[in-house]
A and B are shown apart, each in its own frame.
Chain A
Amino acid sequence: MVDRQIEFKILRYDPDSDEAPHWQSYSVPCDPDWVVLDAINWIKDNVDESLSYRWSCHMAVCGSCGMMVNGEPTLSCKAFLRDYPNTIEVEALNNFPIERDLVVVLDRFMESLAKVKPYIIPKEPRTAEDGTYTQTPAQLKAFKQYSMCINCTLCYAACPQVGLEDGFLGPAALALAHRYNLDSRDVGRSAREDVLTEHDGVWACSFVGACSQVCPKDVDPAAAIQQAKIASTIDYFKERLLPGRSR
């Protein structure tokens, strides 16, 4: 195959020497079958070994290679060069502080995840001797889509509310909370309720829908959040209007 010469503009930032990030250009002889990540690997191997970025699986599974590619949050291992023009801009994911080059600081995302208790909270403790849980296909289907998240944070980079509201838990964490709330093995809905309905929870979402447009796994976090809003509204009225129910 004939190589295709592509101009890569990469936003570089070295915390040891740079006051602010700056663009640097690289002309890369690309195999037509490459993805953006291959070209970045080529730059690191052949031109500039100091270029920093994250990746691991090269198959859209690990979720670590997210970058802004021509302004769009993208898994760079899934971004085929044949779908791009001859100039490609690559920048660290939006809405996150830049640690170095294309590497972002993920603390906020990690903290948001922890806050929503993203694990099964069972009715009573269960040991290995008790055997596995059983679930019908319908029970599985209720949440399966929301369990496909690979924590790539593309949805955070796409969401304007994440950028504007520092504390907003963000799409993936809220979708995950909804995923566990929908799980028939879980009884943690009330334990998650406060964090979901507080100022930084589902109501901070203004339903732009950008998260779902960029999600590489079709998780559709925007849908999860709207459904969580409806569920929390119903809970609110149930708690206040039905006798014998308390929080």
Chain B
Amino acid sequence: MADKILMKGNEAIAEAGIKAGCRFFFGYPITPQNELPAYMARRLPMEDGVFLQAESEVAAINMVYGAAGAGARVMTSSSSPGISLKQEGISYMAGSELPGVIVNIIRGGPGLGGIQPAQSDYLQATKGGGHGDYRLLVLAPQSVQEAVDLTMEAFDLADKYRNPVMILGDGMIGQMMEPVEFPGETSPEELPKKEWATVGNEGRKANIINSLSLQAEKLEELNLRLQKKYKQMQEEEVRVETTKTEDAEYVIVAFGSMARIALSAVERAREEGIKVGLIRPISLFPYPEQVVGKVAEQAKFMLTVEMNCGQMLEDVRLAVNGRCPVYFYGRTGGVVPTSQEIYEKLMELVRGEK
């Protein structure tokens, strides 16, 4: 295993893509993810790859579509407003069953919003985002190392399911520097051939990348096949971390960098003898609803903490399904809740219980 190197989140995600065998990147500038394309622009030519700054996020995602359809591992990154523009293309990718990795380093919204970290694209990311009945695999890292690991995994998952995968980070993940190591390297030549890709139909029938079905029954068939994939994801791809939940009476649920901050609040309360635990969903779709539901059986309440006005909250409530009360604490617009604030909210709720 290689030595640890100090890297910014955005750059580490880019390098992780290259290490996973991605040689094609299409993007458009937007803060706070600019280091990612800049890194690709520097690095990809060294690997005989292609970096292309597209005319817009719309063009970028459609270049991703074309490159993915031609069988390549391909990646794009953006931040909230740009991800909104990509939605039509992402829906086409899901409908045409194309793999690809999309990074969203979320900033505060709506509209042009701000450039500070936020988690306000949770619903957009996990419920499809564009038109039609589809899902992305959504992975939310809480550290630079985890961003590396999940990005590398994302390419395998995208290929396994022929479905786009989203890495959902925020400005903190993108901007912070941490030591990382890269767990290996795949060259594009080692990857299995994609028999369905459009590469020229020498000696076979033509391959077609398409999401159009003018017959209702045919389109329903496609949808049912997609739903089967999402079900398989729910069975095989749930990733979640639990901390001190075994004996917990109170449970905080948080994802991404928010979970990291929430953990300090949990530790502080534990020092004071309060039995608090933390559930950190890593895959946001598929959502770890069974784990959340199970822990809810023993909990007196759950507290969802997010950098938005309560989006994952809906999934927590669905998973808890009335087994215990679910409360919410969040800041938004780029304001990051401190561990002190979370601790105080937790203690206020604990006092209310007693």
State whether these chains interact: no
